[in-house]
Amino acid sequence: MRKDGYRIKNLEPYSRIIPHLMTKRTECQIHYQADFDMSRIEPYRSNNPSGIRFSYMTLAMTAYLRTVSQYPEINRFNANRRVYARRDFFASFIMLRTSDDGQVQEAAVKVRLDLEDTILDVHQKLEQAINENRDGSANNNTDKTISKIMGLPFIAKMSIKIIKWLDAHGKLPRGFVDASPYHSSLFVSNLASINLDNAFHHLVEFGTNSVFMTIGRSTDKVIRLGMVIDSRICGGYVWAKAHKAFCRYLKNPDLLEQKPEKVVHDIE
């Protein structure tokens, strides 16, 4: 039994066979795009009950989190040709920080979010995580775990093979899973922060991440999100409904100020 999810057994025949026909996450990638309408988002950022000018990453992440609370199927993952429902929602993202010698570094940060979180809750959790990792001399759990693995180069290759096998069979220690940014519901890269357009970032075979989102710089009064998803976790009909809900939350962020009326849980 995996620590980060439980197996979905009551799948229709087509969904059961797909993971056997397409065994790699990178051969099941679907790309799609969603837009922030600046004419609707900017007034909200400038004038909302909290008085906080929310970042685009906060808005996008909260909109996706709220979508998961209504469509839990998009929070699944595939491992070892089986489909699992996650027990939690974790979001990973890349942030830039400056080291003691003035060098700009990238750091992967992972945050646990609750499906009932409001946009203010998400903002506070992201700000706390960013502040804790802003100092270039501070190593987060991800940095520490990577350093331990790569500390002995002559055994690193064998260690990674063992880690991948343990991951495929759900045997990784909980502490490793909690530190890994690739064991997350959503991975976000804010490309606008380095003045780049949105892109479609590939998924990674290691871990359980099934959705990768990039946020591009604004063009023609629109900010585009590039999303790559693992098509094996649920059918296109569910993804279509979830996508419509996600876009609705992006266009109406005031809906994210309150907790959801109810949280829908996945099937057993």
CA 40 from centroid of its chain's CA atoms: 24
Query: d(Cα 207, Cα 225) in Å, to the nearest integer?
Result: 23
Is residue 35 helix, strand or coil? strand
| Whole-prediction pTM | 0.91
What sign has the CA pseudo-torsion 144, 209, 109, 6? negative
d(CA 37, CA 249): 12
pLDDT of residue 151: 63
pLDDT value of residue 159: 77
Domains contained in the chain, CATH given: 5-256 (3.30.559.10)
Q: Which residue do the tokens 């959705």 mark?
A: 211
Q: How many CB atoms lie within 10 A of CB 213?
A: 24
In the chain, count of helices (H) and strands (E)?
8, 9
The 8-class DSSP code of residue 25 comes to G
Which pLDDT belongs to residue 69?
98
* Whether the Cβ atoms of residue 208 and residue 77 lie closer than 8 Å to each other: yes
pLDDT in tens, the chain (268 residues): 788 899 998 888 888 888 889 999 989 999 988 888 888 888 999 899 999 999 999 999 999 999 999 999 999 999 999 999 999 999 999 988 876 677 778 888 999 999 999 999 999 999 999 988 876 555 566 666 666 666 666 666 777 888 888 988 888 888 888 889 999 999 999 998 888 888 999 999 999 999 999 999 887 788 889 999 999 999 889 999 999 999 999 999 999 999 999 999 998 7
Distances in Å between the alpha carbon of 188 and those of 3, 46, 64? 23, 24, 11
Q: Are 208 and 182 in contact (CB under 8 A)?
A: yes
pLDDT at res. 229:
96
* 133 Cβ contact partners less than 8 Å away, ≥ 6 residues apart: 95, 97, 107, 109, 140
- Residues 6+ away with beta carbon under 8 Å from 138: 132
Rounded CA-CA distance 35/60 in Å is: 10
Map tokens 């991951």 to a residue. Answer: 167
CB-based contacts of 209: which residues, under 8 Å, 6+ apart?
Answer: 77, 92, 181, 182, 183, 184, 185, 186, 187, 203
The per-residue pLDDT for 173 is: 86
Strands 104-113 and 186-190, by their bridges, are: unpaired
Question: What pLDDT does residue 267 have?
Answer: 86
